A and B are shown apart, each in its own frame.
Chain A
Amino acid sequence: MRLRKRGLVARLVLAVVVAGTLSAALGALLLHWTARSTLRAEVVQRSSLVAHELAIRLYGRVANDLDTLQMVAATHAVTQLVPEAAAELRTVLRTSATYDELVLFDVRGRPVTAAANAFAAETVDYAGRPDIADQATAGGYVGLGDAFPPDLEMAVPVENPPGTAVGFLLARLPLELLAAGIQQHDLRTGTTSFLVDGAGTVLVHPERDRMVDRERFPLEQLTDGHAGTTIVVGVNRLIAASAPLEAFGGAVVLTQDERIALQPVSRRLLDLGAILGVVLVTTMLAVSLAGGWLLRPLGQLLEAVHRLGRGERGVRVGRSGTGEIALLAGEFDRMAETLDRRDAQLTELQRLSLLVNAAVDCDGLTDDLVRGARSLLQSEAAAFVALRDDGPAVTAVGTVLDAPLVQELVEVSTNGAAHVSAVPDGQALSVPVTTLTGATLGVLTTVRRAGDFTDEEVRLATAFAAFAGVALDNARRLELEQALVNELQESVERRRMLIGGVSHEFRTPLTCIAGFSSELQERWDELASDERELLLAKIHQHADELDHLVTQLLEFAATERGRTSTTISVVRLADIVQQEIASLAPLLAGRPVSVTVPHTEVLADPRMLRGVLNNLISNAVKYSLPGTPITIHAEHSGDAIRIDVRDEGIGMSPAEIQLAFEPFWRAPAARGERGTGLGLALVAEYVRAMGGMLRATSEPGKGSTFSFTLRARVREAQP
């Protein structure tokens, strides 16, 4: 909070300094601009006056020259229009250096005689001047010659007698001479004045070079005719004023450099500028001094915040500024680091969620989760300890967890909270993985060798574990559903086999019972008594068979529905074995039956035990040739009793042994032996219900041995 206030104050001070400087500068500029325009107006006005003065002065000169010329024209020789007049003209030229040349013309403008100044630059072609004859003879003419730079030509009529023009006298004088007065003025005042003709062509200019080209002065830019204003000629801004020259329709133009003309104001501006400059320099110094440790880092911070805001990653300010600014920069960097890390973690989480959603089996999913946890928490190793009915199952990457750690993790899982513990090579962060309903599936652990886990990472791990729990639960459900579907399909298949197979097994005894009873009924008198007894015995046998089938089916149906109730009691094994052999005596007739069973007590359900023995002995009879021996042997095996039922019959292949306990499976080698294929399945079910184990060993052609175990009754030690 303090840091923020300091930042605000610094910004405020800076703003005030900048605003002050700016307004001072603006004020100065405004003042300057006002002063400047006032002065310019003054200069223009003055220039215009000067121009007019110069023009008047020029006019006076021209008028003066015309007067002189008229006097010459009145001399005798001239009025006669004779060539001898030249002598008089020459005399005039000698006494006045004004004219370059004097020429006498007749009334049509044809030259009569002439005289030229010795200093005249060039020889004049005495061409006729009919063009000006009328004007010159009428009253006089003033104009510019054809050459460039032009001369001023002025002509006065020659009258003889007075009032009657007989010709005219023309004088040529260089404009330069005429403008000499202007140039003197220029020298005094620092202006530049020159003459232009009516079209603005510069005729006489102080810089002679300019006269080579017919440079044109933009007279039309001067407002109200030839009044003064500022115009731009070349690169210089000029303040110009002009005054018309009636004599030849031209003008006097007076110009001065604006910078020079307005110099006094500019000097003031300079002074003001100097003051402002001092202020500015001071400000800049202050800013740059402050900037070194205040503004620059702030700028960097602002830039960094901006970049971060745009979603850029890896933005850092680094060591910058001093005091609070440095602290701020440090805080910023830490924040940016956190953001970067969170961003990376978020990306990892998204990747994992895609991966996990794609996983269909628990094992693959567990692998993904363990790898994901390791990369998410930047750990060297990670493991998932699944809690299963048959003990913990570990899936690990990076390291193998030792048994004590696994045990510790299992304990952690029961606490239900994340747990950081020290392990031999670093820190372990463990979080229980539970389903949404709270059932614990296992523990997810990551091991980091360097650096501690932060609270934030613990929270992240917890969140990930929750996610993992849901994913695992889903995968497990999917697997269970798949298993259920498979089981249902198997069940349907079993039902189909039951109907197909068992109905056939019922059909045969029923056919026999019906056939034999019909035989007895119809041929009772024909048959001998032993024949009748035989047929009756057969009916009885088939009825027993039907009973056995029905019993087996009902028993199996009960086990499938989980409705078998087991009543374990202490029974004498030998007694049960003897009882069962006795009940199966007809079946065992003609066979050597060997029974070696110790007089021991076992924990068993008597009904189930009889069922087991009945089925195993019947099976032995069914799959062995008449007369071959059947062995029933029992012995202690630890705290259990193992009972073997062995025959010397056709035996089974290893593949057949695998299938032997499947319901409805019957050995293909069974010849003429009926059965539901449920006998061994029931045996397996009964043995399991009594807590025993069942196995079969066999060799094709040599016979099979079925062994099962029962718990022996443990006699309590006598005190």
Chain B
Amino acid sequence: MINMREVGREEHHTPFGALIVDDEDDIRLLVRLAIQRWNRGLFVAAEVDDGETALDRIENADPAIVVLDQMMPGIDGLETATRILELRPHQPIVLFSAYLDPAIERQAAEIGIARCVHKRDLSSLPSILYGLLSPS
């Protein structure tokens, strides 16, 4: 396990915790690095590698936003999102997937997922997350 030191957290921003759910260690690392680099009140509240674990830990982590992979062993992203929203109906969720098509995006919208982001747009992920959390 690679531990990157915390960098650039700015105190004047209201901190928002993010829950990262992805079975790929390096993807989680990249998301964390991107959030740290963006450095505007976002931090990684927790990282888990599958949907079941996310459901177990979401109440304790109490994230402001969930970054959710679609293709994972066990329950997939859409199923995980459905069950998270049953527990926390107003939970903002971003589906972060390497494979998105109109069918999945439509399903995501129906479930109540706030946004779908392709993994190739990793660099714009932090601003999208922040935009969702600050309606201004």
Partner-B contacts on A (CB < 8 A): 503-504, 507-508, 511-512, 514-516, 518-519, 522-523, 526, 531, 534, 538, 542, 668-672
Contacts and interface: CB of A to CB of B under 8 A. Distances in A.
A545 to B, nearest CB: 10
A88 B70 CA distance: 173
B26 A669 contact: no
Interface stretch (B60-68, B79-87, B119-127): B119-127
Q: Which 7 A-B pairs have the closest CB atoms?
A: A507-B98, A515-B30, A672-B23, A512-B26, A511-B119, A671-B73, A515-B122
B25 interface: yes
B49 A672 contact: yes
Query: In the complex, which of the residues A512, A515, A523, A542 has the most CB atoms of chain B within 10 Å of its own CB atom?
Result: A515
Contacts of B33: 515, 519
Given A511-B98, A523-B37, A671-B23, A504 B30 contact: no
Given A511-B27, A511-B119, A504 B7 contact: no
Contacts of A538: 26
B103 interface: no
A671 B49 CA distance: 9
Nearest to A670: B73
17 contacts: A504-B71, A504-B98, A504-B99, A508-B26, A508-B98, A511-B27, A511-B30, A511-B122, A512-B24, A514-B122, A515-B30, A519-B37, A526-B7, A531-B4, A542-B26, A668-B73, A672-B24
Contacts of B34: 515
Given A504-B98, A507-B99, A672-B24, A518 B123 contact: yes
A392 B67 CA distance: 64
Interface in B1-45: 2, 4, 7, 23-27, 30, 33-34, 37
Query: In the complex, which of the residues A518, A531, A542, A672 has the most CB atoms of chain B within 10 Å of its own CB atom?
Result: A672
Nearest to A515: B30
A652 to B, nearest CB: 15
Nearest to A539: B26
A512 B98 contact: no
Contact of B30 (A516, A526, A671, A672): A516
Contact of A514 (B23, B50, B120): B120
Contacts of B119: 507, 511
Contacts of B50: 671
Interface string B98-116: 1100000000000000000
Nearest to B30: A515
Contacts of B49: 671-672
A508 B2 contact: no
Contacts of B122: 511, 514-515, 518
Contacts of A516: 26, 30
Nearest to B4: A531
Contacts of B23: 671-672
A515 B30 CA distance: 6
B99 A503 contact: yes
A668 to B, nearest CB: 7
Contacts of A503: 99
A503 to B, nearest CB: 7
Nearest to A513: B26
B130 to A, nearest CB: 18
Contacts of B7: 526
Contacts of A518: 122-123
Nearest to A666: B73
A277 B34 CA distance: 140
Given A511-B98, A515-B122, A534-B2, 10 more contacts: A504-B71, A507-B119, A511-B30, A515-B34, A519-B30, A519-B33, A522-B37, A538-B26, A672-B49, A672-B73
Nearest to A512: B26
A286 B132 CA distance: 131
A526 B50 CA distance: 32
A237 B27 CA distance: 140
Nearest to B23: A672
A669 B73 CA distance: 7
Contacts of A671: 23, 49-50, 73
A711 to B, nearest CB: 39
B36 to A, nearest CB: 9
A672 B69 CA distance: 12
Nearest to B120: A511
Query: In the complex, which of the residues A508, A669, A670 has the most CB atoms of chain B within 10 Å of its own CB atom?
Result: A508
A264 to B, nearest CB: 129
A512 B27 contact: yes
B99 A672 contact: no
Contacts of B37: 519, 522-523
Nearest to A669: B73
A112 to B, nearest CB: 156
A508 B50 CA distance: 16
B80 to A, nearest CB: 15
B6 to A, nearest CB: 13
A508 B37 CA distance: 21
A534 B4 CA distance: 10
A348 B97 CA distance: 69
A479 to B, nearest CB: 39
Contacts of A531: 4
Query: In the complex, which of the residues A504, A512, A534, A670 has the most CB atoms of chain B within 10 Å of its own CB atom?
Result: A512
Nearest to A519: B33
A515 B25 CA distance: 13
Contacts of B24: 508, 512, 672
A670 B24 CA distance: 12
Contacts of A669: 73
B32 to A, nearest CB: 11
B85 to A, nearest CB: 25
A672 B98 CA distance: 14
Contacts of A515: 26-27, 30, 33-34, 122
Contacts of A534: 2
B25 to A, nearest CB: 7
A507 B30 CA distance: 14
A512 B34 CA distance: 12
Query: In the complex, which of the residues B25, B73, B120 has the most CB atoms of chain A within 10 Å of its own CB atom?
Result: B73
Nearest to B24: A508
A537 to B, nearest CB: 10
Interface string B46-60: 000110000000000
B24 to A, nearest CB: 6
A518 B122 CA distance: 10
A573 B12 CA distance: 66
Contacts of A526: 7
Nearest to A518: B123
A532 to B, nearest CB: 12
A515 B26 CA distance: 9
B77 to A, nearest CB: 13
A508 B30 CA distance: 11
Nearest to B71: A504
B4 A512 contact: no
A674 to B, nearest CB: 8
A251 B122 CA distance: 155
